Amino acid sequence: MKKFPALFVVLSALGMHSLQAQTIELGFTAGPSLASVRVSPVPDAQHKPMVSFAFGPTLTYHLSNNLAISSGLLLDRKGTEVETFISPSTTRINFDYLSLPVMVRYSFGNFVK
Domain limits, the chain? 23-106
> pTM value?
0.59
Q: Using CA atoms, how far apart are residues 98 and 54, in angstroms rounded to an integer?
A: 10
pLDDT confidence bin for 17, thresholds 50/70/90: very low
For residue 49, which amino acid is it? P
In this predicted structure, the answer to whether residue 30 has a pLDDT above a threshold of 80 is: yes
Mean pLDDT within 63-86: 84
What is the overall mean pLDDT for the chain?
75
Whether residue 22 contacts residue 63, with contact meaning beta carbons closer than 8 Å, is answered with: yes
Q: Using CA atoms, how far apart are residues 96 and 50, in angstroms rounded to an integer?
A: 13
pLDDT confidence bin for 20, thresholds 50/70/90: very low
Count the helices and strands in the chain (H runs, E runs): 1, 6
3-class DSSP assignment, residue 14: helix
In this predicted structure, the answer to whether residue 41 has a pLDDT above a threshold of 60 is: yes
pLDDT in tens, 79-111: 877 776 666 777 777 888 899 989 998 887 765
